[in-house]
Amino acid sequence: MENFSDIVVGLDISNNAKEVLNRAFLVAKGNSSKVTIAHAIDAGFFGKFIKDDKIKKLKISAKKAIEKELENVNTQGLNYSIEVEQAKPSAFVIELAKDRDACMIIIGANEKKDFATTILGSTAHNIAQKSNLPLLIVKRNSGEAYKNIVAFTDLSEVSKKSLLFSQEFFHQENIKCVYAYKKMSEIAFRYNDDYENRDGIEQEIQAHEQEKFDKFVKENNIKDAELIEDRVGITNALTNYISKNSNDLVVLGSNGVNNAGSFLYGSTASSLMQSLKSDVLVYIPK
């Protein structure tokens, strides 16, 4: 049984702050978790030149802004605190999560869309790489609990744990498990000059992938599962799946975004984290 007593919310006071707080308290309510709201005042290189009284005023202003947002959030029955410090956002959030022995970190998608930060920004990736905790990235309006969760798997032990964690945390026994594989490309068939055997080769590959997936499903007693395929690639297959099924939360199992041990890392994980319109839970085991 996991310990879900504490959740840390890394909050950027922006247009989506209310949605992040709404989601945080919704998921906290399901487990009676305490919520720590963390906001970092990041002055960057020039921080050391800002006088202490100015920093103090910024902290007070930030805390008041968060309290104002909370007036429109249902916090009833839950304990929460607000922590505001001058710090690098990702480091501050990670340190607080460590101090609180948190079970999860929640953040919002960065609204800045420049070349350097893309959609999520460096904070999300730093947290995913360094926190060693499940990271929930909020992108959608959050008026109600998740109803249509899907867990993407690569058949690894971590992806199995991500499914089990999600079932327990969100109190949903039948979260759908989806496995995707890439079909041979046109270029591969052309390169090998093997068009006449194309159907047989594709059927053999499909049977092999289905056998692996069926074994995973059976061993882990998964009740709802689906195998999908795509000639372009795994990222394309999974993105299209979400578009068709309107999932409100996608679960990705991970040993850490920098770990190359499975396909749910590196460019695939980063692409899904950024491109999916649904909320994303990057499950990183403690």
Q: Which residues are within 8 A (CB) of 29 and not within 5 positions of it... i.e. 6 or more apart? A: 74, 77, 78
My answer on whether 25 and 122 are in the same domain is yes
Rg (alpha carbons) of the chain, rounded to whole number? 21
My answer on whether 274 and 162 are in the same domain is yes
> Domain limits at 57?
1-143
Which residue, of 109, 143, 177, is where some domain finishes? Answer: 143
Q: How many domains does the chain have?
A: 2
My answer on whether 124 and 194 are in the same domain is no
My answer on whether 75 and 154 are in the same domain is no
My answer on whether 15 and 153 are in the same domain is no
Taking a C-beta distance cutoff of 8 angstroms, is the pair 256, 283 a contact?
no
My answer on whether 125 and 155 are in the same domain is no
Instruction: pLDDT tens for the chain, 286 residues: list them.
Output: 578 999 999 998 876 889 999 999 999 999 999 999 999 987 654 556 567 788 889 899 999 999 999 999 999 999 999 999 988 899 999 999 999 999 999 999 865 444 333 334 567 778 887 888 999 999 988 788 999 999 999 898 888 999 999 999 999 988 999 999 988 765 555 555 555 677 778 888 899 999 999 999 999 999 999 999 998 888 899 999 999 999 999 999 866 555 444 444 445 777 788 888 899 999 887 7
Which residue, of 122, 143, 164, is where some domain finishes? Answer: 143
Question: Whose structure tokens read 């919704």?
Answer: 26
Q: 151: domain CATH number? A: 3.40.50.620
